[in-house]
Every structure is written in structure tokens, then in C-alpha cells.
């Protein structure tokens, strides 16, 4: 008989912390906490396997489950000294979802299961607290009605049906908070809630405790498949077949009066990483109240005054948990009449700033090793991005404050600076960013396309909008509200609990201190300080960038930089993959070196043809009708190219520099509009018709597969000749100055060995000539970009001549998948949302397909040339998962844009550590 149910309680448990796949994170850790002697209310976990079986069998529980549940329920009753469904001594339970990874708020939980009119009376007799009992019943009917019976708002402007009834009651009774309602009010609420259920579903609210329990379990399992959970998994790449566990846990009550409370906390500050106990609690409340952000809770430090003994015990547990789990924990607890109960622990989600500080501090404290500090669970490489993002310029901020634009201050929940226009609804935010938020070709984004999502509080439905927004600002909720949690995970700038904001969803306005801001107005939020400012505020470089790139800050003045540097040093010590950069000018090259690059993996030469007079010479070359005319035009380009290469070689100080010969089709250098063509004709002294004709003749139906790459250099060998000359003249000049150089000439879009041979011959001949002319010889290589499926398959042939390979995974993805990067926008979303493809193949290498081609290329290439140097220079070179793949298949280096270099360094270290 398969074991479907795992008991925990007292100081024993059938499960343990490592069993997350089967028991989910919550269940496994509840068991583990029992085992280390922490106070956990008894209960049991129904495995994730049952969730999958339940779904596969048309919502039927597998055979034997009920018997196992009954057995575990009996044990639970024994430990807790109460009986489920018993009218005189009732045990209440919660039914809580929990997948193997935490998916904050994506799935459902029901509290106070087992209540009906009879057990309610029993509960009142047992505790002598009728207000508490009715409060619990009110909550139960509301939660069960929502989660299990499906009474939810039906449009985004509509209020939650239960909240609506509750609000009316509060208005009628002239109270502000639900804990101010009287017993009679609560009774009336229960009546109205049940009526609403009957009204909407046509059925009576269930009274039988077991019916309630199994209904809740079914709802929890079903919540694995709800839209927001599915979207969430897709976003983080979690498989849909993991399933969720259902945890049945004896209720303990934080709503039994002033000596009771409920709270959540982090063992350290998850926003900044500071080593302080960080959390919040509410007196006389139940768990969901804190997380839902409906009432703003008290900071945990206040508990020291409110309940000194409980605080001391909790602080002690804080230390125990960190030692035991060797990581920062995110805990949930409840105090019932002065007794502390632990309800959950897990590794806390954290910002990039906190992730690095936790890791570095814990190594210093001797809690973890350097290698552990580098693990992906602690620092996802992309999180380093946050440390490189701009912050508000202090002068601009001071000016904004002088101009009385400081509107309010909330809780700083996600560090960083965000300026954008106000949107009140997540889907509007998403739509706006989709339309106006795309970065231009330089990666710059128009401020108009940036959004700050302003809300009362956020809920799991909002995650797409939160993802689209630059910043998130909420009026309610504390540092552990949904908004704060999700923002931290996404690395968004976030301020929560900004009480002064009066948000009106209907008029789409937010009023602060008498000022009214509308949807579409600019707002700026400082996630380091919690300050909210009207209008736009200018930003400046982050501390790390100020130290490394702008050199306007000293390393010793920036703690963030010091931690960053330490971590990078540890990463470099373990990684085997080299990290290069894609750069085509000295400035970018120097930046990349500051970020730790060890060479240039791709220097695109075509970018050099656009500036100033160069484009003119380039156009002359394209218009030229004879070889002589073409050579004459190319001769004008030569000095420019040589100058560029000289600058780059000097900047790179002997590191390898891979220079790709001309790649894009020639039409990209010509104007396509009428006006542009007229101007060009005048400038070059030719007729407009001639220009138009040439443009027309260069037109291609599919330029991606057209006359480009080495095909240009083969048909017009003089182009390759000029480029090779520029490279070697520059190399010789720089070498003569005593600076080492290491040029690697890379021929693009090769598919056939003879293509490569012909181009390599030109390069080698020019090299020989230039070396003779300059009287100096430099070491160099000639290799090729592998970016066509044919090149992968024929890699053994190509490697007989090519001295290195570099995978051009942008084109290899396009040609391998038959999917153009410029056109896939129209269907990729459908593909991803319907799980037709696991990930965007232009962001992360399509491991099975394109990755398979790469593997063939590596194997065949090295069969011919065992020590073949192989790298990657597509966009994927800066994507952590792709970097790990490259390590696995044995590449020598990855190359990415300068700002991704630190990310690639960390990813490479994680790959080397196998984590």
C-alpha cells in the first residue's frame, strides 16, 4: 500500500525536511520543526502524489486514502486532546496548500475547518469565549465560501462578495476594523454569508466536518491548476506535474483575545540583508490578516514589550532555525493565550542586495562555506542585476523635496529607484508596458513606458502586472504582505503600507495630503527609504557602477560594493569557464574589464561603419560598380577601422579579442525612405534613381537567410582584405608600443569548409603582407562562428581549418528552429502560455534542439582538433541557465554584454560547483 499520509506532532514526525518533493516545502518543514523540538500543532500531510492522482482520476481520491487520513486524524486528536467534529470538545484544523517550492499566495488555504452550529457551542463552552468562537466561524464561512465554493468577485472592479457584506456591516456599526464588531454582528454576518452562498450556488453551506475537510483538500489540490499558479510556474520554469501537498494542521488561535496574536517574520531583513529580526504581528487576529495586508501590523520589535516571554522564546527559535537550516528563514507563528506555536518555516525570499549580504555575512559568521554562499538557492545570478540598477540622484531628490514633491513615506520593501506613470490595475500596467515599454536598440526605455503600480494591496492575480511594472506602491500591508514578498522575489522596487495614500479605483486617482494624482501621472518611489515623490526624479548610477565604472566612489565607501567584490572573488576561484564580453569600442571594453571580463568574444565590425563620415564611405563602396571604385571606397574606411581596433587592443591589454568580419546584408547600410535616398544621392553626387535602384536590387525577401555573413566576403573579397589589413596593422602598431595583442579573426555564417578556407586564406595572406611591411609578427587565430545547423553537423570538416569556434546562438536558434527573431513575437506568447515550448528560445538556449546541435558541433569539432577553443557569443552568453549549459557541454568561454559579465561569472561558478 502506498503511503499517502504523513503524520507530524508532539516531538515526532513521519516525514522530514528533505522530503520536499513528496510533502511539499511546508509539510516537510512542519515535520522537521517537530523533529528539532519546536512547538508545532499536530497534523498530517497528504502527499503531492495524491494531488496528481486526484487530478488524473477525475477528482477522485486514490483507494486507501480515507483510511490513512482517519488514522492520522486519530493520532492528531490524541496529541491535541480534542476530537474533530465532536460537539463537546471539538478539534478544528486548517487545510493548507504547499508545493515543493514556495509560491506565495498562488494556492489556497482554509482555516477553522470543523465548525458548525453544534461544534461552535462546544467551542464556546470549552473556551468561555463566544466572541472568539463566532469570529472563527465568520472567518471559516468566508474562507470556505471563497476557496471551496467559489464565491469570488466576477470582475476587477467588483468587490469581493464577502468583503462587501463585511464592509456594509462595519459602516452600519460605525466601526473601522473587524475586531471591533460585537458577537451579535458576527452572528448576523455568518447568516448573511451563508445566504450569499445559497444565493449564488443554490446549495446549503456544509455542516458535516468531514465533508468540509475533504472539500477543502479537493480545493487545495485544484488550486495547483488555477490560472495564477500556472502563470507563476511558467514564469519560474517549474514543471506542472509537481503537484501540491495538502497539510491538515490543528488550529491554534491568535484571535482568542489580547494575550493572543499571529505574525510572520524573517530571521534577518530580507530587503537590505541586515542582521536584525524583521517581521510583524497583530494582536487578537488570525494568520491571513497579517499577510493579506488588510490591517497594517506592528513591527516585531514591539512584541518585546507586548509579550516579553514570547518574544524571547521566538528570538531563541530564530537562532535555532538559522543554525539548523543554515539560511535565513521566513517563519509564521501564532500565540494562543500566551503560548507560542510555529506554523511554518522556509528559506526566505530576498532581494539581490539581501541575498549577497546574507551570503557574505554567513560566511564571516562561520555558518556556511564560501561554496555554499555561491549556490543558486541563495543567489540566483540574475539578482546581481539589482546591484547594477540606477538609484535616485541625491541632488535631484533633494530638489524634489525642496519643491514639496515628497508625498508620503511607507515601508521600504524592495530597494532601488523607480519612476513611472501611475497605473491602478495590474492588467492595465501589463498592457501599457507591452505597448510602450519596449527598450530601443540601445536598450534604453522611454520613461513613458515605465509604470508604477499603485494599489490598496496586491493579490496573486496581480503578478503579471507586477512583473511589467518598474515599481510597486501599496497603501496597506506590511513588510510581509503579498506585494512585498513578490516584489522582493522579482527584484522590483517596492514600498508598502503607505497609509497616507487614499486610492480610489473608480475615479482612478490617488489622493495624498490634498494632492490628487491621476492615472498616467508620474510618480517616483525610493525603495531604499520608502519615500514617495510626485513627478519624475532623475537617477544616477548604482554604488557598484560608481565604484567600478564611473570611478566616482571609493570601494571603501560602499559596503554594497565590498560585498559584491567578495562574492565575485569567490566565484572566480571556483569557475572554470572564462567570461568574455561583446564589445565594439574601447569604452565598452574597459567597462567589461572592470566587471571582470577576460577578453572580447564578439567585436562586431559593422557598428563601426555607421558613425560620421564612415557611412558615406561605406555607401560609396556599396554603390561602386567596379572593383577599383570599391577598393577606393574601402581604402577610405581602412583608417577608421584601424583606429577602432587600435583603441580596443590597447584597452584589452593582451586579452584575446575576437573580431568578426562583416556580417549584415548591405541594404542595412542604405536609406530606405525617399528623403534619405535623395540626401544620399546629393552627398555622393549621383542620381537619386541610381540610389533607389541599388536599394531595390539589394532587396531580399528574407535577409536573414540572404546575402550576408561570409557570403559578402566571398563575393567581394576586397572587403575581407580591408578588414584583415585594419586588424593586423592595428595589432602590429599596438605590439610595437610594447602592449601585448591577441587578435582572433572570426568568419561569420560559415556552413561549408571551402567557404572558410577561402576567407581564411585572404586573412592569412594579408597577415603575412602586413607583418612584412611592419617588420613585426603577432600571434593570431582564424576561426569561425558556428551559427548554422550545417556547420554543427560538418564541424569535423570545418575544424580541420578553423582554429576556434564560437557559437552564434542567435542565428543558430533562428536557423535551427526555423523561427525568425523579428517575427516570432506574433506567436511566442501563445506558445509559452500553452506550454508548446518550455521557454523563450531567444532568452535561454533551447537545450534539446539548439543545444543538441551545439553538442554535435563540440564533439565533432574536437574530434578533428582536440584542443579546439570553443565559446559562445549570442545573447544567451549572459543568461545563467544557458551559461550552465555551456559549462556542461565543455565550452571554454561565454561572451555577453558588459553589464551581464558579473552574472555570467556567478553562473559559471555555480555550474562548476554543480549547483
| 96 binds ligand ADP, rule: CB under 6 A | yes
| 123 binds ligand ADP, rule: CB under 6 A | no
Distance CA 336, CA 252 (A): 6
- Count, residues near ligand ADP per rule CB under 6 A: 17
Q: From the CB of 165, what's the least distance to ligand ADP, in Å?
A: 22
Closest to ligand ADP by CB, 249 vs 798, is 249
| 136 binds ligand ADP, rule: CB under 6 A | no
* 482 is an active site residue: yes
Cell 524573517 belongs to residue: 266
| 108 binds Mg ion, rule: CB under 5 A | no
Determine which residue in the list 13, 113, 213, 252 makes contact with ligand ADP, applying CB under 6 A.
252
Length of the chain equals 915
| 808 binds Mg ion, rule: CB under 5 A | yes
Of 553-561, 675-683, 779-787, 863-871: span binding Mg ion (CB under 5 A): 779-787
Of 67-75, 103-111, 414-422, 773-781: span binding ligand ADP (CB under 6 A): 103-111
| 294 binds ligand ADP, rule: CB under 6 A | no
628-667 binders of ligand ADP (CB under 6 A)? none
| 29 binds ligand ADP, rule: CB under 6 A | no
Determine which residue in the list 212, 334, 481, 720 makes contact with ligand ADP, applying CB under 6 A.
334
Q: What angle do CA 324, 330, 336 make, to 5 degrees?
A: 95
Please give the radius of gyration of the chain, using alpha carbons only, rounded to the nearest integer: 32
Closest to ligand ADP by CB, 340 vs 363, is 340
Alpha helices in 653-698 (DSSP H): 674-684, 688-698
Closest to ligand ADP by CB, 104 vs 880, is 104
Determine which residue in the list 255, 344, 542, 661 makes contact with ligand ADP, applying CB under 6 A.
344
Assign residue 100 a region: left if phi > 0, alpha if psi is -120 to 50, beta otherwise? alpha
| 24 binds Mg ion, rule: CB under 5 A | no
SS3 category, 243: coil
Of 71-79, 145-153, 219-227, 245-253: span binding ligand ADP (CB under 6 A): 245-253
Q: From the CB of 278, what's the least distance to ligand ADP, in Å?
A: 16
b/e code 358-370 from CB counts within 10 Å (16+ = b)? bbbbbbeeeebeb
Q: From the CB of 334, what's the least distance to Mg ion, in Å?
A: 11
| 811 binds Mg ion, rule: CB under 5 A | yes
Q: Which does 811 bind (CB under 5 to 8 A by kind): ligand ADP, Mg ion, none?
A: Mg ion
Q: Which does 851 bind (CB under 5 to 8 A by kind): ligand ADP, Mg ion, none?
A: none
b/e code 789-827 from CB counts within 10 Å (16+ = b)? bebbebbbbbbebbbbbbbbbebbbbbbbebebeebeee
For the chain, the distance separating the N- and C-terminal CA atoms, rounded to the nearest angstrom, is 35
Distance CA 161, CA 745 (A): 68
Q: What CA–CA distances, in Å, run from 535 to 405, 432, 436, 455, 508?
A: 8, 18, 19, 18, 17
| 289 binds Mg ion, rule: CB under 5 A | no
Sort strands 531-534 and 406-409 into parallel, antiparallel or unpaired.
Answer: antiparallel
Q: From the CB of 10, what's the least distance to ligand ADP, in Å?
A: 15
Based on the number of CB atoms within 10 Å of its own CB, is 638 exposed (0-12), middle (13-18) or buried (19 or more)?
A: middle
Q: Where are the beta strands (DSSP E) in 583-707?
A: 600-604, 656-660
DSSP 8-state code for residue 662:
P
Q: Which of 873, 876, 886, 887 is catalytic?
A: 873
DSSP 8-state code for residue 419:
E
DSSP 8-state code for residue 548:
I
Assign residue 688 a region: left if phi > 0, alpha if psi is -120 to 50, beta otherwise? alpha
Assign residue 202 a region: left if phi > 0, alpha if psi is -120 to 50, beta otherwise? left
Annotate each residue in 325-364 with x if it binds Mg ion (CB under 5 A) or - if it does not, as one string: -------x-----------x--------------------
Of 62-70, 403-411, 722-730, 785-793: span binding Mg ion (CB under 5 A): 785-793
Determine which residue in the list 25, 41, 90, 902 makes contact with ligand ADP, applying CB under 6 A.
41
Q: Which does 783 bind (CB under 5 to 8 A by kind): ligand ADP, Mg ion, none?
A: none
Closest to ligand ADP by CB, 486 vs 792, is 486
Give kind and range of the element (H or E) at residue 46: strand 43-46
Closest to ligand ADP by CB, 344 vs 581, is 344
743-772 binders of ligand ADP (CB under 6 A)? none
Q: Which of 51, 95, 432, 482 is catalytic?
A: 482
Distance CA 805, CA 802 (A): 7
Q: From the CB of 499, what's the least distance to Mg ion, in Å?
A: 25
Sites of contact with ligand ADP (CB under 6 A): 41, 94, 96, 105, 109, 111, 249-252, 262, 287-288, 332, 334, 343-344
Binding site for Mg ion (CB under 5 A): 332, 344, 787, 808, 811
Q: Which sequence positions are flagged as catalytic?
A: 482, 873
Amino acid at each position: 500500500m502506498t503511503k499517502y499520509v504523513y503524520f507530524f506532532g508532539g516531538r515526532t514526525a513521519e516525514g522530514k525536511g528533505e522530503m520536499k518533493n513528496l510533502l511539499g516545502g511546508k509539510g516537510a518543514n512542519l515535520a522537521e520543526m517537530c523533529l528539532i523540538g519546536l512547538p508545532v500543532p499536530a497534523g498530517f500531510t497528504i502527499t503531492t502524489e495524491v494531488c496528481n492522482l486526484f487530478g488524473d482520476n477525475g477528482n477522485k481520491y486514490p483507494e486507501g486514502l480515507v483510511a490513512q487520513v482517519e488514522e492520522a486524524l486519530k493520532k492528531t486528536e490524541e496529541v491535541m486532546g480534542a476530537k474533530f467534529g465532536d460537539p463537546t470538545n471539538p478539534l478544528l484544523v486548517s487545510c493548507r496548500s504547499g508545493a515543493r517550492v514556495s509560491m506565495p499566495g498562488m494556492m489556497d488555504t482554509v482555516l477553522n475547518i470543523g465548525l458548525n452550529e453544534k461544534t461552535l457551542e462546544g467551542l464556546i463552552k470549552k473556551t468561555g469565549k463566544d466572541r472568539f468562537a463566532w469570529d472563527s466561524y465568520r472567518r471559516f464561512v468566508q474562507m470556505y465560501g471563497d476557496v471551496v465554493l467559489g464565491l469570488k468577485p466576477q470582475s476587477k472592479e467588483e468587490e469581493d462578495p464577502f468583503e462587501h457584506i463585511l464592509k456594509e456591516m462595519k459602516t452600519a456599526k460605525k466601526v473601522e476594523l473587524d475586531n471591533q464588531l460585537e458577537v451579535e454582528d458576527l452572528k448576523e454576518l455568518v447568516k448573511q454569508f451563508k445566504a450569499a452562498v445559497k444565493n449564488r450556488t443554490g446549495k446549503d453551506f456544509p455542516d458535516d466536518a468531514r465533508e468540509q475537510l475533504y472539500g477543502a483538500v479537493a480545493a487545495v489540490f485544484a488550486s495547483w491548476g488555477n490560472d495564477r499558479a500556472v502563470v507563476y510556474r511558467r514564469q519560474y520554469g517549474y514543471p506542472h506535474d509537481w503537484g501540491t501537498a495538502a497539510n491538515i494542521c490543528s488550529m491554534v488561535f491568535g484571535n482568542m483575545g489580547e494575550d493572543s496574536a499571529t505574525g510572520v517574520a524573517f530571521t534577518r531583513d530580507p530587503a537590505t540583508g541586515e542582521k536584525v529580526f524583521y517581521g510583524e504581528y497583530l494582536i487578537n487576529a488570525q494568520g491571513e490578516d497579517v499577510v493579506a495586508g488588510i490591517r497594517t501590523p506592528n513591527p516585531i520589535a514591539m512584541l518585546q514589550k507586548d509579550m516579553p516571554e514570547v518574544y524571547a522564546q521566538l528570538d531563541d527559535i530564530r537562532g535555532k532555525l538559522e543554525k539548523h537550516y543554515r539560511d535565513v528563514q521566513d517563519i509564521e507563528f501564532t500565540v494562543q493565550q500566551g503560548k507560542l506555536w510555529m506554523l511554518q518555516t522556509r528559506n526566505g525570499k530576498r532581494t539581490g542586495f539581501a541575498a549577497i549580504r546574507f551570503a557574505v555575512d554567513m560566511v564571516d559568521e562561520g555558518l556556511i562555506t564560501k561554496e555554499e554562499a555561491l549556490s543558486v538557492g541563495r543567489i540566483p545570478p540574475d539578482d546581481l542585476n539589482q546591484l547594477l540598477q540606477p538609484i535616485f540622484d541625491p541632488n535631484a531628490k533633494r530638489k524634489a523635496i525642496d519643491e514639496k514633491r515628497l508625498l508620503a513615506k511607507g515601508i521600504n520593501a524592495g530597494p532601488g529607484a523607480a519612476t513611472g506613470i501611475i497605473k491602478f490595475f495590474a492588467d492595465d500596467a501589463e498592457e501599457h508596458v507591452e505597448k510602450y515599454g519596449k527598450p530601443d536598440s540601445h536598450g534604453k526605455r522611454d520613461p513613458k513606458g515605465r509604470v508604477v503600480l499603485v494599489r490598496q494591496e496586491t493579490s496573486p492575480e496581480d503578478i503579471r502586472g507586477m512583473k511589467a511594472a518598474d515599481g510597486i506602491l501599496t497603501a496597506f500591508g506590511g513588510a510581509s504582505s503579498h506585494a512585498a514578498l513578490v516584489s522582493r522575489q522579482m527584484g522590483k522596487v517596492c514600498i508598502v503600507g503607505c497609509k497616507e495614500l487614499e486610492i480610489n479605483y473608480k475615479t482612478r486617482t490617488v489622493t495624498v495630503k490634498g494632492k490628487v494624482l491621476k492615472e498616467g501621472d508620474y510618480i517616483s518611489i525610493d525603495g531604499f527609504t520608502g519615500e514617495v515623490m510626485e513627478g519624475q526624479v532623475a537617477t544616477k548610477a548604482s554604488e557598484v557602477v560608481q565604484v567600478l565604472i564611473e570611478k566616482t566612489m571609493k570601494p571603501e565607501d560602499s559596503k554594497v560594493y565590498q560585498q559584491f567584490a567578495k562574492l565575485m572573488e569567490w566565484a572566480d576561484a571556483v569557475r572554470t569557464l572564462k567570461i568574455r564580453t561583446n564589445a565594439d569600442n574601447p569604452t565598452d571594453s574597459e567597462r567589461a574589464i572592470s566587471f571582470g571580463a577576460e577578453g572580447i568574444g564578439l567585436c562586431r565590425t559593422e557598428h563601426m561603419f555607421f558613425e560620421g563620415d564612415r557611412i558615406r564611405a561605406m555607401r560609396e563602396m556599396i554603390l561602386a560598380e567596379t572593383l577599383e571604385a570599391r577598393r577606393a571606397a574601402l581604402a577610405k574606411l581602412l583608417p577608421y577601422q584601424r583606429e577602432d581596433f587600435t583603441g580596443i587592443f590597447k584597452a584589452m591589454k593582451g586579452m584575446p579579442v575576437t573580431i568578426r568580419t562583416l556580417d549584415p546584408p548591405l541594404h542595412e547600410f542604405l536609406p530606405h525612405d525617399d528623403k534619405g535616398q535623395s540626401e544620399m544621392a546629393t552627398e555622393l553626387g549621383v542620381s537619386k534613381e541610381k540610389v533607389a535602384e541599388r536599394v531595390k536590387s539589394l532587396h531580399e525577401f528574407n535577409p536573414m537567410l540572404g546575402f550576408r555573413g561570409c557570403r559578402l566576403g566571398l563575393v567581394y573579397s576586397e572587403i575581407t582584405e580591408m578588414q584583415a589589413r585594419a586588424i593586423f596593422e592595428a595589432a602590429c602598431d599596438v605590439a610595437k608600443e610594447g602592449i601585448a595583442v591577441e587578435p582572433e579573426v572570426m568568419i561569420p555564417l560559415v556552413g561549408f569548409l571551402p567557404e572558410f578556407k577561402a576567407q581564411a586564406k585572404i586573412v592569412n595572406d594579408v597577415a603575412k603582407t602586413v607583418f612584412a611591411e611592419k617588420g613585426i609578427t603577432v600571434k593570431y587565430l582564424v576561426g569561425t562562428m558556428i551559427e548554422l545547423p550545417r556547420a554543427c553537423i560538418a564541424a569535423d570538416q570545418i575544424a580541420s581549418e578553423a582554429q576556434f569556434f564560437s557559437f552564434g546562438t542567435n542565428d543558430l536558434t533562428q536557423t535551427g528552429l526555423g523561427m525568425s527573431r523579428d517575427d516570432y513575437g506574433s506567436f511566442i506568447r501563445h506558445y509559452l502560455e500553452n506550454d508548446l515550448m518550455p521557454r523563450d528560445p531567444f532568452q535561454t538556449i533551447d537545450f534539446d534542439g539548439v543545444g543538441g546541435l551545439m553538442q554535435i558541433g563540440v564533439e565533432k569539432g574536437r574530434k578533428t582538433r582536440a584542443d579546439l577553443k570553443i565559446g559562445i557569443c549570442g545573447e544567451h552568453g549572459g543568461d545563467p541557465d544557458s551559461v550552465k549549459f555551456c559549462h556542461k557541454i565543455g565550452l571554454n568561454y561565454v561572451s555577453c554584454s558588459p553589464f551581464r559579465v558579473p552574472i555570467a561569472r556567478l553562473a559559471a561558478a555555480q555550474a562548476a560547483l554543480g549547483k
